[in-house]
Structure 1
């Protein structure tokens, strides 16, 4: 994304965890790039959040679980909330 625009970012710190990145920003160590879903408008109200989606390709998130696993109700609820098109019927067929 950066090279396409002729930019070379200066990366000083990297972290895989969004909370760590946001902590770096709160400490004044620079700017951070996190996924939209990692920002909580209430908890992160002290941060300025700018949409930079045009700089990055769309990413795909997948849900995984071990084949043959009995999916408890709360697991199905989570999956349905995360991806409403994955109904219990769809999950049952996948297992």
Structure 2
């Protein structure tokens, strides 16, 4: 993900838990990380910007999403197919300390 900011850091929060499903099955144990730092639901993670640009910081950060594949039930449909979900993240400036 690419972030431009005027400050050298910002906070990012997972605003809702990531849930991926296809209607019949759900992928479990969803984990989201930014630059290899775990992003927990409802807890702000401070990300440092180190690449200075004109008038601010412009940097690409690694966003990783990991989930466990669903297990097929004996009488259920195939686990093959398309899964979807919403990744909702909140980006906000860090508070200024004096």
State the TM-score bracket (shorter-chain normalisation).
under 0.3
Larger radius of gyration, structure 1 or 2?
1
Q: TM-score with structure 2 length normalisation?
A: 0.19
Q: TM-score with structure 1 length normalisation?
A: 0.19
Say which structure, 1 or 2, has more relative contact order (CA 8 Å, 6+ apart): 2
